[in-house]
Amino acid sequence: MQCESCGERDASIHYTQIEKNEMQTLHLCEQCAAEKGLQPGVHAGSFPLTDFLAQMGRSGPEAPSSGPCAFCGLTLDDFKKSGRLGCSHCYVTFDAHLGGLLRRLHGGTQHVGKVYLPPDPSRAEQQERLAGLRRKLDRAVQSEDFERAAQIRDLIRTMEGAA
C-alpha cells in the first residue's frame, strides 16, 4: 500500500483516529507520519514492555544514574528484568530513564487527572487540589451531570471553608 500523503513510499503506519464519531484511518509512510507529528507506537495496541525496557539506557554515554534506589534498593537492572518499580522514590531515582519510557507507553508524561490531596496538606497542595476540583466541576456541568456537579461544588465549599 502506498502512503496517502506523498504517494511514493510504502505506507507502514496505519493511524486510526475518531473525530465526531467517525473512524478514519490514515495510511502513511514513516517520514510523512513524522511530519504530521504521529509517533509510531504511541497508539499501537500492544506494548511489549520488555522491548521498551531493553532499549533503555542506550541513549548515550552520559547515561544518568542507574541506582540502586536509596529507599528500596532496586537497581535499573532489576527494573529491566521485572518491569516493576520498587517504591515511589524509584520514580525520582530513575527519572531520566522513565521519561522516555512513559512517553512511549502513554504518549505523554504529564498527569492531567485527579489532583491528590494528602491527609495533612500544605497550602499550595490545597490550592492545586481546588483548581483540580474546579476543572472537574466544569466538566460535570458541560456534560450536564448536575447531581455530580452539586457534589463537587459542596466539596469545593467545604475545602474553601476549612482553608
Interacting residues with other proteins (CB under 8 A): 14-18, 21, 23, 25, 43-47, 49, 71-74, 78, 82-88, 91, 98, 101-102, 105-114, 116-119, 135-136, 139, 143, 145, 148, 155
CB closer to other proteins out of 61 and 147 = 147
CB-wise, 76 or 78, nearer to other proteins?
Answer: 78
CB 17 within 8 A of CB 24: yes
To the nearest whole angstrom, how small is the minimum distance from the Cβ of residue 35 to other proteins? 20
CA–CA separation, 94 and 68 (whole Å):
9
CB of 121 to other proteins, least distance (A): 10
Nearer to other proteins, 91 or 146 (CB): 91
Residue type, 91: Y
Residue by residue, DSSP assigns 92-150 as HHTHHHHHHHHHHHHS-----SPPP--SS--HHHHHHHHHHHHHHHHHHHHTT-HHHHH
The CA–CA distances, whole Å, from 126 to 97, 118, 123, 133, 142 equal 30, 9, 5, 10, 24
When the beta carbons of 8 and 54 are compared against other proteins, the nearer one is: 54
Enter the DSSP assignment of 136.
Answer: H
CB of 52 to other proteins, least distance (A): 9
The nearest distance, CB 50 to other proteins, in angstroms, is 12
